[in-house]
Every structure is written in structure tokens, then in C-alpha cells.
């Protein structure tokens, strides 16, 4: 017999998830996995249901079918405020900081569920995001778009998550900020976090992703290593474009 080592437990496993907003399901029977120390990407056309999938995983909407596991234990249907304590952090696409709180207060809120070490964690994150340190007492609504995204990432990281879920972190940013965001995401990945990311810029995203899923009309369409999908004719035709 071929004695293969058992596959390590995925940091996040989603099996056959179906969810929506009360009407017909927006995503149906979607399955994905994300591993520690890897970037996992979800790409697909606008309206495919990518954000909805993330909200269902994060506990903001209740799935009507399917199961979600964080580090091997089932968390299906648990509310968002409980999932954070299980090591799952979610950074929404828009409205991802508290505008009238200061940067420090935003981070304190990110660490709301921590029993201890909030101050120390903030200091650690200031090393990863040095821009934030200098303006710790400024309100978040005074930050530039790039800084705001950095703050949103840092808020999510306050709980030392096993899984970090990012909904289009570089959307709407100038290209030089997009590069900086990807650098941070790579650094976060290197600290053995499972990063699950949605992005608009499919080509750049697939370059970074160890594994990627293509979601179309609320259902799994394709999956594979990011580099392979970059060379897949269907993916290139539909979502990347030959010239971009």
C-alpha cells in the first residue's frame, strides 16, 4: 500500500455552503479550503457571490446548507462575534474601519475579544505597519485610502487569527499602494496565517496565490494553483485578458 502522510487539517474548510439574503440562494454548494502559511484566492466576475461567500463564512449571514470548519472544529452558524474567538478574522471591502475612532481605538476594538496583551499586540502591529504608529491618535477618517486599508488589515490581525479573510483589500487604491498591500499580505502569510483573499486584479492575485478558486454564478467552477490558472485558457479569456 502507498502509505501517504495524512493531509494536515485545513485552517479553514468550507463544505457545500449555500447562503443568500432571504431570497434565492446567492451561493450554492460552494466548497473551499485554506491552509496555514498559504494565500488562497477566490476570483470570479462581479456579482458571482464572492463577498456573500465571505460574509457567510464570517458569520454575518447564516448559511442555509453546508458546513464550516476552523482548524478542524465545526463552527457552522455561529455568530460573527463568536467566530473571532475561534481565530477567524474578517476584513470587509468597504466600511472596514471605525471612521470616528482613533487608530489606536480601532485596534483596541479589533482586540476586543482578547483577554490580555492588547497593548503589546498593538506595538507588534505598529512594527508591521509603521505608518500607523505616527498617527495613532488621529481619527481613522483622516487617513488616506492606502493607510485606511493598512489599518483595516491591522484591526483584523489584532486577534492573532489563524484565518484572515480579506474582501478586495486593494480595490480602489492607486497601483503603488496595491503593491504595498500585497507586500503586507505576503508578510502576514509568512507568519503562518491562512490568508483567504478576493481580488479584482485577477492576474496579480493569481501570481500570489498558492491555491485559487474560480467562482461563477455562485458556484465552484475551477480550482488549482494560482500559476496554473494564470495559464488556463478559459480563465485568461474570461477574467484576466490576454493583454493586461
Partner 1 sequence: MTAAILSLSAVAFTLEYAVTNVANLSHGEILTVGAYAALVVHQRTGSALAAALAAAAAGGLLALAMHAAVVDRFIRRGTPTLVIFIATLGLSFVIQNLLVIRFGAANVAYTIPSGAPFELGPFLWTAVDLEIIVSALAITAVLYLIISHTKFGKALRAVSQNRELARVSGINADVVASATWFLAGLVAGYAGFILAESVGTFNPSFGFGFFLITLTAAVAGGLGRAFSTMVGAIIVGIALEFVGGYVSAGYNLAFAFAILAVVILVRPRGLFVNARRSVFE
Ligand X SMILES: Nc1ncnc2c1ncn2[C@@H]1O[C@H](COP(=O)(O)OP(=O)(O)O)[C@@H](O)[C@H]1O
Residues that bind ligand X (CB under 6 A): 21, 26, 44, 46-52
CA 180 to centroid of chain Cα atoms = 16
Among the listed residues 1, 5, 95, 243, the single contact to partner 1 using CB under 8 A: 95
Beta carbons within 10 angstroms of residue 90's beta carbon: 22
Q: Tell me which of partner 1, ligand X, Mg ion, none is bound by residue 47, counting a contact when its beta carbon lies within the kind-specific cut-off of 5 to 8 angstroms.
A: ligand X
CB 32 within 8 A of CB 75: no
Among the listed residues 65, 112, 144, 186, the single contact to partner 1 using CB under 8 A: 112
Q: Report the C-alpha gap between 111 and 115 in whole angstroms.
A: 9
105: contact with partner 1 by CB under 8 A: yes
Closest to ligand X by CB, 101 vs 216, is 216
CB 165 within 8 A of CB 84: no
Q: Report the C-alpha gap between 23 and 31 in whole angstroms.
A: 21
- E strand or H helix at 208: helix 202-208
Q: Report the C-alpha gap between 232 and 87 in whole angstroms.
A: 34
Least distance in angstroms from the C-beta of 91 to partner 1? 8
Residues from 180 through 239 that contact partner 1 (CB under 8 A): none
Q: Tell me which of ligand X, partner 1, Mg ion, none is bound by residue 48, counting a contact when its beta carbon lies within the kind-specific cut-off of 5 to 8 angstroms.
A: ligand X
Q: Is 162 helix (H, G, I), strand (E, B) or coil?
A: coil
90: contact with partner 1 by CB under 8 A: yes
Least distance in angstroms from the C-beta of 241 to partner 1? 33
Least distance in angstroms from the C-beta of 239 to Mg ion? 14
Q: Tell me which of Mg ion, ligand X, partner 1, none is bound by residue 159, counting a contact when its beta carbon lies within the kind-specific cut-off of 5 to 8 angstroms.
A: partner 1
Query: In this structure, what DSSP letter does residue 136 have?
Result: T
Least distance in angstroms from the C-beta of 123 to Mg ion? 33
Q: Tell me which of partner 1, ligand X, Mg ion, none is bound by residue 87, counting a contact when its beta carbon lies within the kind-specific cut-off of 5 to 8 angstroms.
A: none
Closest to ligand X by CB, 49 vs 226, is 49
Q: Report the C-alpha gap between 57 and 143 in whole angstroms.
A: 29
Q: Which three cell numbers stand for residue 113?
A: 475579544
Cβ contacts of residue 221 below 8 Å, gap of 6+? 44, 214, 215
Closest to partner 1 by CB, 85 vs 227, is 85
Task: Give the binding site for partner 1 (CB under 8 A).
Answer: 22, 58-60, 79-81, 83-85, 89-90, 92, 95-101, 105, 108-110, 112-113, 155, 158-159
Amino acid at each position: 500500500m502507498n502509505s501517504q502522510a495524512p493531509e494536515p487539517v485545513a485552517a479553514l474548510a468550507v463544505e457545500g455552503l449555500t447562503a443568500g439574503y432571504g431570497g434565492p440562494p446567492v451561493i450554492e454548494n460552494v466548497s473551499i479550503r485554506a491552509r496555514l502559511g498559504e494565500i488562497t484566492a477566490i476570483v470570479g466576475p462581479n456579482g458571482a457571490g464572492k463577498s456573500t461567500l465571505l460574509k457567510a463564512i464570517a458569520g454575518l449571514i447564516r448559511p442555509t446548507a453546508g458546513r464550516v470548519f476552523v482548524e478542524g472544529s465545526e463552527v457552522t452558524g455561529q455568530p460573527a462575534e463568536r467566530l473571532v474567538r475561534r481565530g477567524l478574522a474578517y476584513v470587509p471591502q468597504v466600511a472596514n474601519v471605525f471612521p470616528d475612532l482613533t487608530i489606536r481605538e480601532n485596534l483596541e476594538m479589533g482586540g476586543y475579544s482578547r483577554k490580555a496583551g492588547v497593548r503589546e499586540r498593538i506595538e507588534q502591529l505598529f512594527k508591521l505597519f509603521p505608518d500607523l504608529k505616527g498617527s495613532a491618535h488621529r481619527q481613522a477618517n483622516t487617513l488616506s485610502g492606502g493607510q485606511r486599508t493598512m489599518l483595516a488589515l491591522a484591526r483584523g490581525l489584532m486577534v492573532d487569527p489563524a484565518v484572515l479573510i480579506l474582501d478586495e483589500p486593494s480595490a480602489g487604491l492607486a497601483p503603488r499602494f496595491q503593491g504595498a498591500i500585497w507586500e503586507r499580505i505576503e508578510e502576514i502569510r509568512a507568519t503562518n496565517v491562512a490568508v483567504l483573499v478576493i481580488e479584482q486584479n485577477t492576474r496579480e492575485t493569481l501570481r500570489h496565490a498558492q491555491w485559487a478558486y474560480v467562482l461563477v454564478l455562485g458556484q465552484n467552477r475551477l480550482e488549482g494553483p494560482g500559476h496554473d490558472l494564470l495559464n488556463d485558457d478559459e480563465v485568461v479569456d474570461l477574467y484576466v485578458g490576454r493583454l493586461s
